[in-house]
Structure 1
């Protein structure tokens, strides 16, 4: 019983980090949860006395489980007519252990999207090196390859991502946040001229909506749609995969997410739009109306117990 308790403690100490690794590998919260559960089952069945490092063992088994799962998923995703986009990670109003772990290993949504084009082992090597700061010797042990081979995989992956449009340097967060706010304001005001000024001459666009070809036209279409919004519709700024993004809210739920990349001149060079209900479901759970009400419930109960006696608030339930 003591050994089982210690194994549980060891697992819980790294569970959030394992989840962050699985999510970066698979781009899906549900798939990441399944991988972590499978890792726990294997860990529970393993002979603890034969293990030198629980964190290293769990990182290795989680990586291999994710690689195997990704091989199947890539075949399945390739057959989808509308293409596939990763599930956005929206930081909750009350950050969880998983939120904090993902903050520590930030990787933008644009990078996550392009990682889909890498082979599973290339993706694993890149994620472990770039997001988790593993050196090539550590990655070699995890993937059962030589350090030189792992260095080459990461180098090839980085070159390919740069060819596909990932900036060599991460955008300045303050500049990025500034442009996101201008995009939000232009959409809210249905300011066509303002929208056009935000984009470079030939921006790229990707969306899970059909027939999306032009970033500015797509943004304008969103602005037109918003002109017919109801009383409960609004546009908010959210934290999406570690960077600011624009959320179109309808009846307390996220209806669409706009994620951008900017260049050194602070022009939008890429726009990614997520509208699929299944991909947005988890985002709504942590940022939608229900999440806000849940967060405010304790405050509401406390406020209900406060009354005024003279000029002084008195807690009548105390």
Structure 2
């Protein structure tokens, strides 16, 4: 394919959503992913494309390599920080963009996204390309400049490391998962600590991001100074105290979809102030239990969530909640009530 035949702008635009989804899966940050895609566009715009046979493959290769370089840099930054780091949650939009549709096609749970931080950049690239984007080992080999056999081993090692770390590589039953998330939401809104503890397994892992939010609504508790990895019930109970406090100040806990998974958004004054994701497990004969809980409360990390959900959507949501509350009170006949008060 000659340079005259290739329409660079059209070729890039056709691949852009997939490139963005790939960069986001690699970096766990929308801003970092946008920077990578912009860098790829500039390189593509300046590149001589006489020998380019397949623009999409060329762009995928460049995006992967650029994301690997960027990941090496940000991993050093994250390792040097005294506070912890969690991936940026991506709330699914009601009217999805092209980027979100591409991301949904490459679904990967938030729990897996978190544990991908334990992989080396090359391992993460190979795992993401194979598991999320259905690339075969020959394609991955060209991108990483390895042999197909070596790439197969890289993906195998990555899976083993993730399994040992407890990554939920297999999706839970959607109905059962949604049910336990709804029970968690109800317990949070009711401030039911006993009910919350009943939802957890024997040795759950509980993780919260560590950034105190300077712009959090007044009275809203900030996140802890370090990530919390709780393995004993007293520790879980102490951390749940913080979560219930956050939910109390947030006023409302609502079900949202993050990367295709059912999660909980904590809402205060028209803003998302927290996103909670859980992994469930247990024997088939048992009721599912929460084996891991992750909470993102950093205002910076929740910016895209607020953009996706939108203030108007949140206001409508709160109005619906208020209407439902009014109706539930109005049906009571044992005391007078002004439903329009």
Q: Say whether the fold is shared (TM-score over 0.5).
A: yes
Please name the residue that 2:281 is paired with.
263
- The secondary structure found in structure 2 opposite 1:162 is helix
Please name the residue that 2:146 is paired with.
145
Name the CA distance, whole Å, in 2 between partners of 1:196 and 1:292.
Answer: 29
Q: Kindly state the Cα deviation for residue 3 of structure 1 after the two structures are TM-superposed.
A: 4.5
Q: Encode CA deviations 1:233-255: one digit per residue, 9 max, x unaligned.
A: 31111111221111110111111
- Partners of 2:271 and 2:314 within 8 A in 1: no
Equivalences for residues 287-306 of structure 1 within 5 A:
287-290=309-312
Name the CA distance, whole Å, in 2 between partners of 1:188 and 1:3.
Answer: 61
- Alignment of 1:286 with 2:303, yes or no, is no
Q: Kindly state the Cα deviation for residue 178 of structure 1 after the two structures are TM-superposed.
A: 1.3
More moved, 186-195 vs 129-138: 186-195
* TM-score (structure 2 length as normaliser): 0.81
More moved, 3-12 vs 40-49: 3-12
Name the CA distance, whole Å, in 2 between partners of 1:51 and 1:150.
Answer: 24
Q: Kindly state the Cα deviation for residue 293 of structure 1 after the two structures are TM-superposed.
A: 6.8
- Partners of 1:199 and 1:216 within 8 A in 2: no
- Partners of 2:255 and 2:264 within 8 A in 1: yes
Within the candidate set 246, 256, 259, 1:241 is matched to 259
Please name the residue that 2:115 is paired with.
114
Name the CA distance, whole Å, in 2 between partners of 1:225 and 1:105.
Answer: 32
Equivalences for residues 106-255 of structure 1 within 5 A:
106-208=107-209, 209-210=223-224, 212=228, 213=230, 214-227=235-248, 229=249, 233-255=251-273
Q: Kindly state the Cα deviation for residue 126 of structure 1 after the two structures are TM-superposed.
A: 0.4
- Alignment of 1:277 with 2:299, yes or no, is yes
Name the CA distance, whole Å, in 2 between partners of 1:247 and 1:168.
Answer: 23
- Partners of 1:28 and 1:86 within 8 A in 2: yes
Q: Encode CA deviations 1:4-39: one digit per residue, 9 max, x unaligned.
A: 982111111110000000000011101101111111
Matched pairs, number: 291
Name the CA distance, whole Å, in 2 between partners of 1:140 and 1:75.
Answer: 26
Please name the residue that 1:58 is paired with.
59
Name the CA distance, whole Å, in 2 between partners of 1:252 and 1:137.
Answer: 48
Please name the residue that 1:313 is paired with.
none
More moved, 189-198 vs 110-119: 189-198
More moved, 56-65 vs 262-271: 262-271
Residues 42 and 168 of structure 1, relative CA distance in 2, 3 Å threshold:
closer
* TM-score (structure 1 length as normaliser): 0.86
Name the CA distance, whole Å, in 2 between partners of 1:185 and 1:293.
Answer: 20
Please name the residue that 1:312 is paired with.
none
Please name the residue that 2:83 is paired with.
82
- Segments of 5+ residues of structure 2 without an aligned counterpart are 210-222, 317-341
